[in-house]
Amino acid sequence: MSENDPVAGPSRLPLAGLRILELGHYIAAPFATRLLADLGAEVIKVEPPEGDPVRGWGSAVEGHAVWFSVHGRNKLSVTLNLKDAADKAKLRRLVARSDALVENFRPGQLERYGLGPAELHAVNPRLVIARISGYGQDGPYRDKPAFGAIGEAMGGLRHLTANPGQTELPPPRCGVSISDDLAGMYAAMALVAGCWQVKGDPAAKGRVIDVDLVGSVFSLMEGMLPEYGLFGWVRQPQGAAIKTAAPTNTYPCADGKWLCIAGNSDLIFRRLMAAIGRPEAAAEPRFATNALRCEHVAELDAMIAAWTRTLPAAEAEAVLEKAEVPCSRLYDMRDCVEDPHFQARQMVMAVQDPLIGEVLHPAAPFRLDGVSPREMVRWTGPAAGAHNEQVFEMLAKEESA
């Protein structure tokens, strides 16, 4: 699919031929469709005439949000007013010719437009509809407003991000809209599953998928739910450590930077102790197993931190890498861009955006044999309504065929 002919088809990509409508705004639904578009799906982003509100977020070049270059990439943009009868008729025409639809309005909003699942399935009975919301399409909190921070808070994640014993500052967010992104990934996965089922059964009806921000975060809580159910344990914040493995933490270095070290296994622990000049510690009975090390983790962390404080982070990292101890400095974006591994795997690529000029994009987070990462970034986020004419001309041809 070329930038000049976006309605052609990326035949080398696995979702080529799958048409998905996005009635998305802000983050969760657009993130889901970005992943699907990177995999070759034809995503038609339906925006209000003024555009997705996220177009006004963050830094901008001549009024065009830099983030939207990535957020809207590989998508066709059409603008429709879903309160207008003529525009709703246009949407129904698109629905009739699409495989799936993703939306993240508040529950009930599509129904108020007269575009709920019953109405959409009346137009296209095989349509797969993925609905993303804060709390889900039912339940007592269904109608409460929510953003990503609420998903982190109620799903159990924000409780864990505090430092132990620290009460004067609130537990921090992770720095990105993690609950929106998680919900988007789950919605994309479920949508592909729904489309696979419909494709495999000529008599199959479309499905409605219900994904919520709170449940998406809650699903990541690992063993915490069974621990509570069996033992009444409520896991408390661990800071940078991991309760079930030791030594694993993030340690201060001489240059003010931090080094994350994971000495989880017995063998790695012995290599770590030798590398920091404390081989005798690895032979001590109280450190003989992971369970025992967890009991004495404060002593181990102090021992390791005493060593990391003597070296700049990059030098300490080099010592531990030579000893084959898993470790990494805490990277900022400059570190990511300059790192040779990121470069070799084309994880960062310079892309020409006609709206803002050359811009750096992250590669798609998956690799497909026979497809280069650059082939998956076919064009950048377009202006709102940039494909109105192309999309409806294409639709008219399909309807008359």
Q: Report how far residue 163's alpha carbon sits from residue 156's, in angstroms, rounded to the nearest whole number.
A: 15
Catalytic hit among 38, 52, 180, 181: 180
Angle, helices 388-400 vs 85-96, to 10°: value is: 60
Backbone angles phi and psi of 213, in degrees to 5: -65, -45
| Helix, strand, coil fractions of the chain, as percent rounded to 5 | 40, 15, 45
Q: Is the peptide bond before 247 cis (omega within 30 degrees of 0)?
A: yes
Sequence-ordered list of residues with C-beta below 8 angstroms from that of 345, at least 6 positions apart, any chain: 363, 373
Contact indicator for 108, 186 with CB cutoff of 8 Å = no
Query: First CA to last CA across the chain, in angstroms?
Result: 22
Sequence-ordered list of residues with C-beta below 8 angstroms from that of 181, at least 6 positions apart, any chain: 27, 28, 31
Contact indicator for 166, 226 with CB cutoff of 8 Å = no
Q: Which two tokens stand for residue 355?
A: 């709206």
What is the DSSP code (8-state) at residue 241? S
Q: Report how far residue 219's alpha carbon sits from residue 93's, in angstroms, rounded to the nearest whole number.
A: 37
Catalytic: 87?
A: no
- Of the candidates 373, 381, 251, the residue with the CA atom closest to the CA atom of residue 319: 251
219 CB neighbour count, 10 Å cutoff: 13
Q: What residues are annotated to the active site? A: 180
